[in-house]
């Protein structure tokens, strides 16, 4: 019934519900067992080109968001997003990211699109 965003470097909590890693690359320094990730839908992450463009500081967060939302309209990404919406309706979902500023990342876009 709810979605929240956490950094993957924070220890898992009992009320996390379904833990979904929303980064394309596995985070450095985190063992897979310790992360307790339930799902890792790489097709839901921004393309390498978009990620590189954004991290190079070539555009604003608003422009990144617009481009990312366009990428999410692709069939695979749209299907994965619909699957997450179903999971959110069924219970708590925690989106995990290694981003240092999750509020200005693709993960915050996902939280909003999922109704969090």
Q: What is the pLDDT of residues 46-74, one digit of tens each?
A: 999 999 999 888 789 999 999 999 999 99
- Establish how many alpha carbons lie within 13 A of residue 106's alpha carbon, considering only the half-sphere containing its beta carbon: 27
Q: Per-residue pLDDT averaged across 5-29, rounded?
A: 95
Burial of 11 (0-12, 13-18, 19+ CB in 10 A): exposed
Which tens digit of pLDDT belongs to each residue from 69-92? Answer: 999 999 999 999 999 999 998 899
CA dihedral 67, 69, 73, 74 (to 10 degrees): 50
Q: Per-residue pLDDT averaged across 2-28, rounded?
A: 95
pTM of the model as a whole: 0.92
Query: Are 50 and 74 a contacting pair, CB within 8 Å?
Result: no
| Closest residue by Cα to residue 92 from 6, 7, 8, 17 | 17
**Locus of tokens 């309209």:** 73
């Amino acid at each position: 019934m709810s979605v929240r965003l956490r950094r993957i470097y924070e220890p898992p909590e009992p009320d996390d519900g379904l833990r979904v890693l929303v980064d394309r690359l596995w985070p450095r320094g985190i063992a897979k067992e310790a992360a307790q990730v339930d799902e890792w839908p790489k097709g839901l992450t921004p393309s390498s080109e978009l990620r590189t463009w954004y991290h190079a500081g070539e555009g604003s967060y608003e422009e990144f968001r617009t481009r990312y939302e366009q990428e999410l309209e692709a069939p695979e990404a749209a299907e994965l997003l619909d699957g997450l919406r179903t999971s959110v309706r069924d219970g708590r979902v925690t989106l995990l990211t290694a981003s240092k500023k999750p509020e200005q990342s693709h993960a915050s876009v996902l939280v909003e699109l999922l109704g969090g």
